Amino acid sequence: MAKKRLAILISGRGSNMMALVAAARAPDYPAEVVAIVSSQPDAAGLAWARAEGLPATCIDPEAYASRQAFDGAVDRVLAEADAELVALAGFMRILSPQFVRKWHARQLNIHPSLLPAFKGLNPQAQALAAGVKISGCTVHFVTEDLDGGPIIAQTAVPVCEGDTAQALAARILRAEHALYPGALALVAAGRARLSDGRVTILAAAAT
Ligand code: DQB
Ligand code: GRF
């Protein structure tokens, strides 16, 4: 099967991007990275991608008059790269309904909580404040409902006595790096079926 052409959108450190890039280097991985877009000129992940020789572009929101204009610029980069799938990886800009609709069922995000708990910003601090004993991470399809799209895969991570938000975030991040490449592979291989706002995972075809 042909590999799906994957674009990764980042705004910062880029460790999930690195995990996806590493996975995509395997010969049998069902996606290849054809574009990396950063919304932050000084993102560490952007510098890393360029140093790796990956096709990385910065689209600075400050250069655009509106959210729509910014999203349009992102979409042009994706079109030029012939992208078929989009993975948000620490991308911190809310995407317009038009952009989200265009990439319906083809755009994923990873969030550091067990959704639907703790949507939005600082979910690890939200988890500590709520006193939950288990948190984790979630890969979901992106919809207009912020952090509320259909769930593809999750990993549970323990909250430990005395955890700071930073310590919990680091523990969850390791689980993210293990979860995201596999979840993306399910979508790229056509094994994550979206219907009625829920995702069913199909068995792998026998080889
Ligand atoms: C995010 C969730 C929340 C934020 C960013 C990313 C946030 O509140 N940022 C501060 C406001 C920045 C701004 O004004 O743009 N998770 N777009 C849609 N749906 C999503 C998820 C993320 C990013 C964009 C979504 C998204 O679920 N439409 C990643
Ligand atoms: C991760 O915790 C991810 O779940 C969240 O933002 C963080 C990005 O980290 N959406 P990185 O840039 O991938 O290192």
Q: Cβ(84) to ligand 1 under 6 A?
A: no
Percentage of the chain lying above the pLDDT 70 cut: 100
Residues, the chain, total?
A: 207
Cβ-contact 159, 128 below 8 angstroms: yes
- In this prediction, residue 206 has a pLDDT band, given cuts at 50, 70 and 90, of confident
Averaged pLDDT score across all residues of the chain: 97
pLDDT value at 205 more than 90: no
Topology classification of domain 109-207: Rossmann fold (3.40.50)
Distance (Å) from CA 27 to ligand 1 centroid: 32
Residue 207: per-residue pLDDT: 72
Q: With a 6 A CB cut-off, is 71 part of the ligand 2 pocket?
A: no
Q: Rounded to whole angstroms, what are the CA distances from 52 to 5, 46, 152?
A: 18, 10, 29
pLDDT of residue 119: 98
Averaged over 115-129, what is the pLDDT? Answer: 98
CATH topology of domain 1-103: Rossmann fold (3.40.50)
Give the three-class secondary structure for 142.
coil
pLDDT for res 188? 98
Determine the distance separating the centroid of ligand 1 and the alpha carbon of 96, expressed in angstroms: 10
Instruction: Say if residues 19 and 6 touch (Cβ distance below 8 Å).
Output: no
Beta bridge partners of 56: 36
Number of alpha helices (DSSP H) and beta strands (DSSP E) in the chain: 6, 9
What are the tens digits of pLDDT across the range 58-99? 999 999 999 999 999 999 999 999 999 999 999 999 999 999
Sketch the domain layout of the chain as residue ranges: 1-103, 109-207
